[in-house]
Amino acid sequence: MKSNKHIPWLNDNKTILRFIRKLITELDELQQQLLELNEGDVLFTQGEPLEDVYLILEGEVRLTRTQADESDVTLTKLSAGNFVGLIAFTTGEPTLTTAKIMEKGLALKMKPQQFEQYLSDHPRLQHPLQQLMLNNMIQRYKSNIRLHAKTHLLNKELGKERDDLKKAYKRLEETQQQLIHQEKMATLGELVAGFAHEVNNPASALLRSAENLIEIYSTFEESDSTYKLFKLGLQSVPRDSTQLRKQMLTIEKQFPWVHDRSSVRKLAQMPENALEIIRSRRKKQPVEELINHFEAGRMIHNIRIASQRIANLVKSLKSYSRQDQNKEAYVDIRDGIKDTLLVLSNRLKFVDLSLKLDDIPKTCVQVGDLNQVWTNLLINACDALDDSGKISISTAHSENHITIEIGDNGPGIPPEIIHRIFEANFTTKNQGAKFGLGLGLPISNEIIQQSGGSIKAENLEAGGAKFTITLPIISDC
Amino acid sequence: MDDKIYILVVEDELEVMDALIKDLEEFESYFPVEAANNADEAREVIDYIIDHDHKIGLILCDHVLPGQNGVDLLIDLQNRPEVAKSKKVLVTGQAGHEDTILAINKADLDHYIAKPWTKEDLEKVVVDQLTDYVINNKKNLLPYMAILDTEKLSDAIRTNQMTDH
């Protein structure tokens, strides 16, 4: 601030104060306005209309303000050379603050009318007082600016803290989601295990009954030829619709005396030696009867195959989930891979699967967890291939490690994201993906890491993606 | 006028195809049954049937097939006028909501049978659908009285006689 060149000492509060104090000793009426300030006294309380203004000559006054929540904030401390109650004095509004004496001292107390009077009676007082007031105002203004700057900084810090908090909250939410997902999976696993167990019983019953039926049925067969037909039926291999259609045309020519189309179709399912028997018995038995013996064998064969399929699925499901023992087991990992393939056979229906499962030593692993990894990788591959294409799985080993590779001939992993695919919640599947929380690969990664192994993803030159899992060979669990 | 009315079964799993055909045995003397394992083969069979001046009264179609799926096949077939009139039934365990809605809206689906089916349910659907088909596409309904819905056929015959004047 530029100093007043004409009267330099007017910028100096101390000097001005000395001048005023000198004046006061000379002027009686001013002397009468002197007020002793005693520690603890309150000059005025917030919200009061003010009738006087005070000029502190000695001592200290503290200005406080009571907030809406009834807490008190100390705004400033005023000492010699400061006016107290200046705002109220100049604006006529009630005080914004409460003024309390902190250190005892002396003040000059003035009423507005008195103030005017002094100024007109003692012109020498005018400038110093005005200058003092101005200086006071300037101080307050400077203080204001500083406070603004400080508030702005505080706000920025607050903003940053808020952002940090938001991030932490989001991470918490993600963790919660993960936990819920794991919980769901655990429950699902239990349901699956329970289901597998339940289905196992009727499946076994089916299988046993089919076998028994075969034994009993063979005692029904009267003639050699009908029993042969039955046995041929037991071994029959179903023909697909193209073969069937072709064969039906042949049968129509070879068996013109068979008019019923469904009989023609059944004959079309038969191998040549069965047809021979039919031809030879033509005169002795109606063809429908002969056909039924073959059909009986064929139907029982279907039952046998179907129940075996159920039993295998159940066995793989149980072994796959291994809910009963999620501790480590000393196993050939290839069994788990095969179980997983069987369990996923529906998904893999139109996938061209190529397996090169070379011999590998047994090792200690968490079977259930590892199966989860295979499932995740296979399902990802199926998704990438849109369910039709090629998936290859191979196993190999070195002295200390087992390597498993799962590759596909899909579009591959976009190079810009390949380094992020093991991150939690990074998913390229849209909503509607079954169980797609983007947690599959991170969880798989975690499982492999925990087994002391590593998993790596790369794109193949010929196109498609390949995941390589390396696991240490551990012989004691 | 010896054009036969065929029933076409489209199913890739041989045991299931077998079972469906077996359940349709009783209809075969009136409505011969043909089968295909995938959409392309189905088209070949349809071509064969149409080329020989026969008709297709009913298509029983699975949804999960290698290559083009059942719903898409049925939608495509809408573009063939000879097949547009055929009754179409999805027999499947695995068509999701959207696929089914698509089939209803775009393929003029007539019925949906969920696997596993019972023989009785299947027979009822086949009788209903084929009865509608013959009523709308055949002049002489008498031959079918024994195998299809007798009441509906009688009503139709009576109505036809009345409108013939």
pLDDT digits (tens, 9 = 90+) for B14-64: 888 988 999 999 999 999 999 999 999 999 999 999 999 999 999 999 998
Q: How far is B7 from chain A (nearest CA, A)?
A: 13
pLDDT at A167: 93
ipTM of the prediction: 0.76
Query: Is the pTM for the entire model greater than 0.80?
Result: no
Nearest to B15 among A238, A260, A265 (CB): A238
> Rounded to whole angstroms, how far apart are CA atoms B161 and B145?
16
Cβ separation of A305 and B15 shorter than 8 Å? yes
Does residue A222 sit in helix, strand or coil? coil
Is A83 within 8 Å of A133 (Cβ atoms)?
Answer: yes
**Token pair for residue A82?**
């400061």
Q: How far is B84 from chain A (nearest CA, A)?
A: 23
Closest CA to A16 of A136, A117, A120: A136
Beta strands in B22-152 (DSSP E): 33-36, 55-61, 87-92, 111-114
3-state SS string for A7-47: CHHHHCHHHHHHHHHHHHHHCHHHHHCEEEECCCCEEECCC
A246 touches chain B (CB under 8 A): no
Is B38 within 8 Å of B12 (Cβ atoms)?
Answer: yes
Within 8 A by CB and 6+ apart from A133, the residues are: A83, A86
Q: Rounded to an integer, what is the distance from CA A259 to the centroid of its chain?
A: 67
Output phi, psi for A256, to 5 deg: -65, -15
pLDDT at A426: 60
Contacts of A244 in chain B (CB under 8 A): 35
> Rounded to whole angstroms, how far apart are CA atoms B1 and B55?
12
B39 touches chain A (CB under 8 A): no
Band of residue B90 on the pLDDT scale cut at 50, 70, 90: very high
Within 8 A by CB and 6+ apart from B128, the residues are: B111, B149
Q: B30, B31, B34, B69: which to substitute to probe chain A, counting the most A Cβ within 10 Å?
A: B34
**Token pair for residue B66?**
């290698």
Q: Which residue of B has its CA nearest to A347?
A: B64
A260 touches chain B (CB under 8 A): yes
> Rounded to whole angstroms, how far apart are CA atoms A78 and A55?
10
More confidently predicted of B102 and A158: A158
Within 8 A by CB and 6+ apart from A297, the residues are: A229, A230, A231, A232, A233, A234, A235, A236
The residue type of A439 is: L
A241 touches chain B (CB under 8 A): yes
B96 touches chain A (CB under 8 A): no
B33 touches chain A (CB under 8 A): yes
Distance between first and last Cα of chain B: 24
Is A409 within 8 Å of A389 (Cβ atoms)?
Answer: yes
A465-472/A454-459 β-pairing: antiparallel
pLDDT at A294: 94
Q: Which residue of A has its CA nearest to B26?
A: A262
Contacts of A261 in chain B (CB under 8 A): 28-29, 32-33
Nearest to A240 among B14, B32, B34 (CB): B14
pLDDT at A432: 37
Average pLDDT, chain B: 91
Q: How far is B37 from chain A (nearest CA, A)?
A: 6
pLDDT digits (tens, 9 = 90+) for A183-242: 877 777 777 777 877 888 888 888 888 889 888 887 876 678 888 999 999 998 888 888
pLDDT at A436: 46
pLDDT at A163: 94
Cβ separation of A306 and B15 shorter than 8 Å? yes
A265 touches chain B (CB under 8 A): yes
Cβ separation of A260 and B35 shorter than 8 Å? no
Cβ separation of B36 and A305 shorter than 8 Å? no
Q: B18, B29, B115: which to substitute to probe chain A, counting the most A Cβ within 10 Å?
A: B18
Does residue A247 sit in helix, strand or coil? helix
Between chain A and chain B, how many beta carbons pairs sit less than 8 Å apart?
37
> Rounded to whole angstroms, how far apart are CA atoms B35 and A245?
8
Q: Which residue numbers in chain A have pLDDT < 50?
A: 3-4, 430-437
Is B62 within 8 Å of B16 (Cβ atoms)?
Answer: yes
pLDDT at A20: 81
- Which residue(s) pair with A455 in the sheet? A469
Is A236 within 8 Å of A301 (Cβ atoms)?
Answer: yes
